[in-house]
A and B are shown apart, each in its own frame.
Chain A
């Protein structure tokens, strides 16, 4: 079955750019029936949707983060990535990648999740 795995540096300095990658195994990211998303969770807080991407490269981004977020997809390596610029301590969180349910676009529920990776913003 499909599995997702996040990777990236655990520590980022304030004002720098956080870059994370989600590697998809057990299935192709190129399938036309799926969108792929990023979600984060600050320590002790709730979930926040960051954005989602389709294999074609089309994206939906949370308006509150739009000026700082870029999501891209690499179908040849079966992975998609998140870049968050100008980070502050408020961006410290567990970052999850996930798959939207089949044929629901970015609107649908997220049925497969990675285990999450912690990103800490600190000098």
Chain B
């Protein structure tokens, strides 16, 4: 059971906007910054968003991150077939004194 809760799946059609949520608590998201990773099938994870809303180098501006209180969100606008992947949120947890990942959300582009 992950300390960060994500929906297991999400879907959208090309061109649509989708949002993936990540719910945490006062010892993690509430006081630390959030990162988002994209994992394409058979590949290593790739850092998309860091420090809640900063895009990594080369990441299209279709991807955006936000944080409010103990929750964070990843939004993907203008959905494209190549966005079909698993997405993970992550942050530091002060109680655990370690990194925690969400359970992951499988995004399907219909």
| Interface set of A (CB-CB < 8 Å, partner B) | 37, 39, 46-49, 51-52, 60-63, 96, 101, 106-111, 113-116
Q: Which of A63, A109, A114, A116 contacts B97 (CB 8 A)?
A: A63
* A113→B37 CA distance, assembly (Å): 11
Q: Which of A39, A111, A113, A115 contacts B50 (CB 8 A)?
A: A111
Whether B101 lies near A47 (C-beta < 8 A) is: yes
* A116→B43 CA distance, assembly (Å): 8
Whether A96 lies near B44 (C-beta < 8 A) is: yes
* A49→B37 CA distance, assembly (Å): 13
Whether A49 lies near B101 (C-beta < 8 A) is: yes
Residues from chain B with Cβ under 8 Å of A48 in the complex: 101
Number of A-B contacts (CB under 8 A): 61
Whether B104 lies near A49 (C-beta < 8 A) is: no
Whether B97 lies near A60 (C-beta < 8 A) is: yes
Chain B: interface size category: 20 to 34
Give A110 Cβ to nearest chain B Cβ, in Å.
6
* A113→B97 CA distance, assembly (Å): 22
9 A-B interface contacts by CB (under 8 A): A39-B45, A46-B101, A46-B102, A60-B98, A96-B45, A101-B47, A109-B35, A110-B35, A111-B56
Give A76 Cβ to nearest chain B Cβ, in Å.
27
Find the residue from A46, A48, A109 having the highest chain B CB count within 10 A.
Answer: A109
Whether A47 lies near B46 (C-beta < 8 A) is: no
Nearest residue (CB) in B for A66 is B98
Give A11 Cβ to nearest chain B Cβ, in Å.
20
Nearest residue (CB) in A for B96 is A63
Residues from chain A with Cβ under 8 Å of B98 in the complex: 49, 51, 60-63, 106
